[in-house]
Structures are given as structure tokens and as C-alpha cells.
Amino acid sequence: MLRLSLAAPLGPGGRLRPVPSAGALHPVRAHLLLGPGCSLPPGRYTYDPRTHRAHRRGPAADRVPPGALVVLTVAASRTVAHYGHRAWPLLLLDAGHAAASLALAGATTAGVLVSLDADGSLLSAAAGLPEAPDWQRTWPGTEPELPLAAVRLTPRGGPCETEPPLGAWAALPRASAPTPQPGADTTPPRELAAARHLLHHIAEAPGRPGGTWHPASRPGEVTDEALETRRSAPPDDLKRPPASEPLAQILATARSVRPGGPSWTVAVGGAEPALYAAAPGGPGLDVRAVGDARPTLAHWAAGQQWIATSGAVLLAHGCPANASRATVRGSHLVAGYAAGTAQAHAAALGLRSRPIGSWQQADLGAALGDTPGRDWIVHGLALGAPPTTPATPATSAPTPATPPTASAAPAAPSGEEERP
């Protein structure tokens, strides 16, 4: 499962992983809490994706049920060094993508439950980690990690208790410390301290510390090979609009993998550019607005010009300006989780794709004439038709709805390319 999701065994610098990551910086760490019935003896482990090895950090909790709990944390320093104050949403999105990757990898051989809202303190304790504010005092010379999500993998046919045993793991003493790294305990720059503080704060969920858990499954077409060979396509390979049927399938996947997340819309180029939502009560696409939104999207996505000529862009939006911390956390994690599943599905259908983060002032609701500040874009996935299939119009004759959204777009500044 780890080989199909988080491993980086190929290529220099560990860039080629089944899971994507903003700037290929891969800030997500996986802590394995193994009960009986796994391919390693029970205990706490840290997973090293570069060597594809699990390092034992302590014993297992007593009487934990069969299967594995994986606590996903983020180490923020490299993403903050690269993206500054825009890093924290990307860290949440990356954690969502990692949860999706692990859940998809496990879903054919294990029962999978995913939680994106468990209390950060409980997750830290379960994984045997100090909480971020105490980290550098407790484990000097090592980088603080912020826990954001957890995945439960249960052997098929075995007992699948409703409440994953986070509490039993959290009752254990702290696990052994990682090896100190040079420079990891210098005073963090202001932006790094702020990002850590924010992620620690929004992961607090004292009202329901155990979180809510949802089953994960794989879209039928997604094979192990599709997971392993998934790549983000170069922008030049994303120019042709996908046909309406696969587009509707991917939109349906993004909407359905997880309740309570953001809304989903797709902006399509081609002969009849428009914004589409899922057709109510059935498969297919419904016109939300006629016109070419892609230049505006390029501007909002830190001026990445290639977006203006991409075939289609799947958009996760919601998260009002006055959202609670739970909504901010949830909408970004679910957006990453669902876009990760959608990207795997796109790969399996032969479409090319590339996630898009770094949205700035991307008020989709206001652009469509709704109240400003209520409907921000939090994530995107650019999609292109397969290289050998002739391009097909995204849909037949859309009914005009609202005027084009892009016409008011200011000229986009020269692009800030996310690819390293």
C-alpha cells in the first residue's frame, strides 16, 4: 500500500511518487501504528518514503485490533521556504492528497476508513509525537510535525470496529525521538512560526477528538498501475478539452468521495467555453455560466498563464471568509483528498491532469454575481484530453446563463510557475 501511495523509490531526489505535492516538496510524513495481522510486527513506526522502509519507534498498545492506523503529519519548513505566507493552504491540500493516495492504494485489499477532522493533540499522542508548541524543547534538533489526518486499514474479513483505536495508542508513552538534523532547531523565521501556529490551531477539535471516519473506495477503473504511474502532466499536454463524459465522471468522483466538503465546478475551454456544475439528480454537466473563465483562473492562481489555455479546470470552492477553523481545515483537506482521487480517476481514464494550488483572492462566487467573500476557490485540477483521441466538444449547445466571467479579468501578470 505504501509503495502504491507515498514511496519515492525511483529517480534522483525522490521526485517520482504516486502522490503529487505542491512544488514536489512532499511535506507529508506517515506514522504507522500497527496492530496484529500486518506485514511488520505490531508497534509504532515512521515511514521513510525515500528508502521505502519503516523505522520502529516503540511497542504497540495493548489489545489493539488487527490492522494499521496511519497518522499523517506535515513538516512545514520546505513548503514555507518556497511559498511563504501562501504555504499553509498547500500543506493542508498536500495532506489531503496523501490521505487519498493511501486510501486508494489500500482500498482493494483492506477495509479503509479516513478521518480528516480528528483532534491534532490526540493524533500527536497516538503517533507518539510531541505537540508542535513543545516539539523543539522535547526533541531539540528535529523538525516539528503537525498532524492533520489519519487512515485506518483493516484486513478484509477481520473485525472492523466503528471507532479506530486512537485513544489506546495515545495512552502509550511517547515514542523514540527521530535523529536530529543540522539546522532543524534554529529559531524559525516568522512565516514558518506563523504557519506552524496556524496549522496547530486549526487542527484542534476538542469537541470531538476522535474525529469522524468515512469509508474509502476506489473508482472502478483505477488499477494499481494507474496509481503507480500517475503523473502531473506538463502544461503543454493539457491544452485539449476532455470529452463531456469523462469530465462528468471525474466531477462526480470529486463530489462524491467525501461528504461535507467544498462545492465542485468545472471550467471548460474549446469551441463553447463555459462553467459547468454537476447536473442535478443525474450524470452529466449543467451550464452554470457561459464564457471563458480560464484567463481569470490563471490570474487568480498566482498568474500561471498555462491555465488560460488548459482544456478544462476542475475547481473546489466554498470556505467563506468568516469560516470556522474546522471549516477551513475541512474544506482544504477534503479538496485535496477529493482532487487526489479525481486525479487518479483521470489517469485511469487516460486523461492528462495537473493539480493547481496557490489561489489568491479567487472569489468565484463574487465573479458569478453572488455575495463577495462566500465562495473562494481552494483547489483546482487542470484536465486535458488523452493525447491520441480527437478532441470532442465538452457538451452540446449550452443554454446561456450568466454572462462570461472572464471578461472582467485584469491582464494576468507573468506566471509564477509552481514546478520546481
Closest CB 379 distance from ligand FMN, rounded Å: 7
Number of residues that bind ligand FMN (CB under 6 A): 22
Residue 143 contacts residue 129 (beta carbons within 8 Å): no
Q: Is 231 in the site for ligand FMN (CB under 6 A)?
A: yes
8-state DSSP, 362: -
Site for ligand FMN, residues 332 to 351, rule: CB under 6 A: 336
Q: Which is nearer to ligand FMN, 231 or 239 (CB)?
A: 231
Q: Is 22 in the site for ligand FMN (CB under 6 A)?
A: yes
Pick the stretch among 14-22, 72-80, 181-189, 289-297 that binds ligand FMN (CB under 6 A): 14-22
Which contacts qualify for 317-320: CB closer than 8 Å, 24 or more apart?
317/262, 317/263, 317/264, 317/265, 317/362, 317/364, 317/365, 317/375, 317/376, 317/377, 317/378, 318/261, 318/262, 318/263, 318/375, 318/376, 318/378, 319/262, 319/376, 319/378, 320/373, 320/374, 320/375, 320/376
Closest CB 275 distance from ligand FMN, rounded Å: 19
Among 3, 14, 24, 320, binds ligand FMN (CB under 6 A): 24
Among 261, 273, 291, 355, binds ligand FMN (CB under 6 A): 355
Give the Cα separation of 132 and 237 in Å (integer). Answer: 41
Packing angle between helix 190-202 and helix 325-348, nearest 10 degrees? 90
Among 21, 77, 154, 341, binds ligand FMN (CB under 6 A): 21
Q: Which is nearer to ligand FMN, 290 or 301 (CB)?
A: 301
Residue 384 contacts residue 361 (beta carbons within 8 Å): no
Contacting residues for 259 by C-beta, under 8 A, at least 6 apart:
214
Q: Which is nearer to ligand FMN, 94 or 363 (CB)?
A: 94
Q: Which is nearer to ligand FMN, 64 or 364 (CB)?
A: 364
Residue 317 contacts residue 375 (beta carbons within 8 Å): yes
Pick the stretch among 15-23, 104-112, 165-173, 292-300 that binds ligand FMN (CB under 6 A): 15-23
Pick the stretch among 88-96, 162-170, 220-228, 266-274 that binds ligand FMN (CB under 6 A): 88-96
Q: Is 52 in the site for ligand FMN (CB under 6 A)?
A: no
Give the Cα separation of 104 and 1 in Å (integer). Answer: 9
Give the Cα separation of 171 and 199 in Å (integer). Answer: 24
Pick the stretch among 28-36, 286-294, 318-326, 355-363 that binds ligand FMN (CB under 6 A): 355-363
Residues within the interface to ligand FMN (CB under 6 A): 17, 20-24, 90, 93-94, 97, 231-232, 301, 304, 336, 354-358, 418-419
